[in-house]
Amino acid sequence: MKMDIPADLIRFLQRSTRVAALTGAGVSQESGLRTFRDSQDGIWKQYRPEDLASPEAFARDPKLVWDWYAWRREAIKGVRPNPGHHALVEIEKKIPEFTLITQNVDGLHRMAGSAKILELHGNIQRVRCSECGTFTETWGDDTESVPCCESCGGILRPDVVWFGENLPRAELEAAIQAARNCDVFFSIGTSGAVQPAASLAFAAHNKGAVLVEINLDPTPLTPKADFFLHGKSGEILPELVRMVWGTDGGL
Ligand code: OAD
């Protein structure tokens, strides 16, 4: 599908050396994963975050929370990156300082081949002890109770950030740094509803970066965006790579 990428943006990206991109659940939508807040299909239409994605929920019913993440891991098993993920790999190759910041826990950016990724909300494929923090490489997902840590006996939990928890400090600091120092900041497939990730785009904007938003719907960020590219990231991003660098990189 032919997309309209503004000529000003194409010229600007051809000269840019520092670019940051924040992605959300929307970039994985075309891989077949559900987003969180879509009106029809969003995960949070069916479940309440506080029932499943909070330390309180885990304390109340660890097995319920464990099983929900085991179910999501299972759902991700057959899922592959889409052209939007692949286009971001191409952008990383073209821009000398490119920082990919994601709120997604699905690991699809890594699977696509992006090398440098700041995973702000963790990764669903990693598991650690809820007591001592030791990471575990192998565990059973279909056990009768939540599996325990081999070092201390504490129960295991997914290495994701739950509501009310802090983001990993090193990743957050690197993301803030990238947002404050970039020429162009992309906000792609995220509703901008969850802080502090959502504030990164504003931090970039305040420092004079050109703000580019790619989304199916307007968000609270849209009025500030220099360019709002309306549509699917899996269609817009590959077209943008073609228009800016004249390559499709096999997309
Ligand atoms: P949301 O579900 O809140 O938002 C998804 C966004 O992607 C919406 O703005 C959609 O319009 C847009 N979208 C959907 N399909 C798209 C497509 N194919 N191309 C482009 N845009 C598309 O997901 P996030 O913003 O990622 O946190 O949610 C942020 C955080 O809230 C998640 O990381 C998760 C959730 O609760 C935690 O669990 C801590």
Top pLDDT among 72 and 229 is at: 229
pTM: 0.93
Looking at residue 36, its pLDDT comes to 86
Q: pLDDT, tens digit, for every residue of 151-209?
A: 999 999 999 999 999 999 999 999 999 999 999 999 999 999 989 999 999 999 999 99
Question: Distance from the CA of 249 to the center of ligand 1, in angstroms?
Answer: 26
Question: Distance from the CA of 118 to the center of ligand 1, in angstroms?
Answer: 17
Q: Give the angle subtended at the CA of 245 by the CAs of 242 and 246, to the nearest 5°.
A: 55
Q: Which fold has domain 7-33+80-121+166-245?
A: Rossmann fold (3.40.50)
Q: How many CB atoms lie within 10 A of CB 63?
A: 14
Q: Which atom of ligand 1 is nearest to the CA of 233?
A: 19
Domain boundaries, the chain: 7-33+80-121+166-245, 37-78+129-160
Which residues fall within 8 angstroms of residue 193, CB to CB, at 6 or more apart? 37
* Fold match flag (7-33+80-121+166-245 vs 37-78+129-160): no
Q: Band the pLDDT of 46: cuts 50, 70, 90.
A: confident
Mean pLDDT of 205-229: 97
Looking at residue 39, its pLDDT comes to 65
Residue with tokens 């990993």: 168
Residue with tokens 């879509």: 38
Q: How far is CA 76 from CA 70, 71, 87, 158, 188, in A?
A: 10, 9, 20, 14, 20
**Bond into 83 cis (ω within 30):** no
Q: Is 121 close to ligand 1, i.e. is its CB under 6 Å away?
A: yes
Examine the residue annotation and report whether 121 is marked as an active-site residue of this protein.
yes
Which residues fall within 8 angstroms of residue 219, CB to CB, at 6 or more apart? 187, 190, 191, 192, 213
Q: pLDDT, tens digit, for every residue of 12-44?
A: 999 999 999 999 999 999 999 989 887 667 777
Mean pLDDT of 200-224: 97
**In CATH, what number does 37-78+129-160 get?**
3.30.1600.10
N-terminal to C-terminal alpha carbon distance within the chain: 13
Looking at residue 48, its pLDDT comes to 83
